[in-house]
Structure 1
Amino acid sequence: MPRPPHLCSCGKLVPHGALCACQIAGNRARNARHDAKRPTARQRGYNAEWEKARKAFLTCHPHCTLCRAPATVVDHIIPHKGDDALFWNRQNWQPLCKPCHDRHKQRQERSHVR
């Protein structure tokens, strides 16, 4: 049996599991404010040298650590937050597929922030 819709804070009835248009707009605005303050990928150290090291690492570690699918992302196990030593420490790298990185790893990092 389907679950009943819920009432959004704006007063609209929203199907279970869905977001109201006002919630979607609020999320987009919050993400835009965050991205405006965030340094670019190049400023965070993801330059040509990183691309070369990333490619070599994925050649040696072709499978996702979490699901064993082909790895496409080199993830920093401990977020480096601008620390060059931690950024380049290969012991801090793990191969992940994009879905695992976007889903599991990001959820894990968000839970540590709170």
Structure 2
Amino acid sequence: MPSRAPRLCDCGLTVPFGERCGCKAAGDADRKARHDRKRPSSSQRGYTGAWDKAKKGFLDRHPWCRFCGKAATLVDHIKPHKRDPVLFWDKSNWQPLCITCHSSSKQMIERRESKR
């Protein structure tokens, strides 16, 4: 079965189909590191011991992912709280998600809404 032809990266290297060039991966890592240096710590964003207890109680009452129905492992804020403590603790703004849905489906929804 023939495979698709390799492509030429912006840096000039030939990259096999389905793979990423090392320069792109290094650029992504650098961009993410710059973002993380500016980002407040998890406790500064509200994720403290009190959150851990509230999250556990919520997941005990809502054990299934809202998107796919698998076992939920995360409590997601439907509307991003942006460090607003009232919105952060508003349980009507919480939803149970599995890690896969939180890392893919939910992120896609948030990117789409941020472009509006």
What is the match of residue 32 of structure 1?
33
Aligned ranges 1:7-86 → 2 under 5 Å = 7-86=8-87
4+ residue segments displaced more than 4 Å: none
Q: 2-side partners of 1:101 and 1:77: how far apart? A: 11
Structure 2 unaligned blocks of 5 or more? none
Report which stretch shifted further, 22-31 or 81-90. 81-90
Q: Percent identity?
A: 53
Gaps of 5+ in 1: none
Instruction: Give the Cα separation in 2 of the matches to 1:14 and 1:113.
Output: 32
Question: RMSD value over aligned CA atoms?
Answer: 1.1
Q: For this pair of structures, how many residues does the alignment match?
A: 114
Q: TM-score, normalised by structure 2?
A: 0.93
Q: Which residue is equivalent to 2:111?
A: 110
The whole-number CA distance in structure 2 between the counterparts of 1:28 and 1:47 is 27
- TM normalised by structure 1 equals 0.94
Q: Which amino acid aligns with 1:105?
A: K
